[in-house]
Amino acid sequence: MSVETPLNLILITEHFGNAIDDLGFAHGVHAFAAPPEMIVELCRFLKEHPALRFNFLSDICGVDHYPEVPRYEAVYHLYSLPNKWRVRIKCRLGDPPRVPTVTGVWRTANWHEREAWDMYGIRFEGHPDLRRIYMWEGFEGFPQRKDFPLRGYKDELNPFGAEGPPPTRPDLATKNIP
């Protein structure tokens, strides 16, 4: 490896060999592709290695690559506060999308994984409380998937209850509020 090779790439290659793919470096972020079954081990390595210390999980997001196969992807955005480095890890997932939870590595993954479940239907195996975080219980489907109808599914459930939506306040609409 050359002198310019980032330390995180050297250490990941030494530890994981060819199981983790280097996707390159762009806009200050080094990206890797990992198989779903290795995500927990890779995240724990990145967090606990004394030279790396990726101690902050910024985000986990879902991606729908329809019509590609595999269709779904979980993307992990990590940050090393001591080193000021950013890393992105991408996991391609089958259908139905499943990946092990990383809540045992970062507790904040609880919220991020629930969001990816609610919007994309990515099931995080072993998650302590995988339930909807934005949509109401009983909501059908996953609204960020590319095959979700733009107007939603016809749903008998009114999220506002029997009373309907809250009343509008026309008196506020006519006032000039700075």
Domain CATH code at residue 135? 3.30.460.80
Is the residue at 117 inside a domain?
A: yes
Angle at 98 between CA 124 and CA 74, to 5 degrees: 80
This prediction's pTM: 0.82
Is the residue at 22 inside a domain?
A: yes
Is the residue at 24 inside a domain?
A: yes
* SS3 of residue 112 by DSSP: helix
Is the residue at 111 inside a domain?
A: yes
Q: For the chain, what is the domain count?
A: 1
Tokens found for residue 156: 């008998």
Is the residue at 1 inside a domain?
A: no
Give the HSE-up count for residue 171: Cα atoms under 13 Å, Cβ half-sphere. Answer: 1
Residue range of the domain that includes 13? 7-155
Is the residue at 76 inside a domain?
A: yes
Q: What is the pLDDT along the chain (178 residues), one digit of tens a residue?
A: 333 557 888 899 899 988 999 888 888 899 999 999 999 999 999 999 999 999 999 999 999 999 999 999 999 999 999 999 999 999 999 999 999 999 999 999 999 999 999 999 999 999 999 999 999 888 889 999 999 988 766 655 556 555 555 556 555 555 555 5
d(CA 89, CA 60) in angstroms, rounded, equals 9
Is the residue at 170 inside a domain?
A: no
Is the residue at 81 inside a domain?
A: yes
